Amino acid sequence: MGPDGRHLPGAHLIDAYGGGGFRFADLSHRGSLLALPSGMWAWPFAHPAELNEAAFQRVFDEADAIDTLLVGTGAQPAGLPPAVRAALRDRGIVVETMATGAAARTWNILTGEKRRVAAALLAIA
């Protein structure tokens, strides 16, 4: 990723996921990933239970450029707390939760269609 190891500008298709990380833009990233209009960001969360409002601050900061947020919750689908869903809805963002693999594949499709999408992806082993 960038010189600080945390950010790569631009929306990039995800080439692979699993093994605790992701591959995109000919790079390998270990850990969870936040894919936003501003670029790909390291995301320091590992479990759905950690996903509170603070976890989505970068999403809130870029809300004007996002219509849909895909949340990959790991190997299995999991829900988000009602307060998080409400905070996203209040900013006009539709949230879809699903397993990380499905979220990564959907990110690729919607990004290819130039949609106003973001993805918060928990890494899976």
Q: How far apart are the first and last CA of the chain?
A: 20
Write down the pLDDT at residue 6: 77
Per-residue pLDDT tens digits for 68-100: 999 999 999 999 999 999 999 999 999 999 999
Q: Alpha carbon of 53 to those of 73, 110, 112: distances in Å?
A: 15, 24, 28
Amino acid (1-letter code) at residue 68? T
Residue 8 in this model has a pLDDT that exceeds 70: yes
pLDDT reading at 1 higher than 60: no
Topology of domain 7-121 in CATH is: Hypothetical Protein Mth938; Chain: A, (3.40.1230)
Task: Measure the CA–CA gap between 42 and 31, rounded to whole angstroms.
Answer: 7
Where are the chain's structural domains?
A: 7-121
| CA atoms of 54 and 29, how far apart (whole Å) | 22
Q: What is the pLDDT of residues 30-76, one digit of tens each?
A: 999 999 999 999 999 999 999 999 999 999 999 999 999 999 999 99
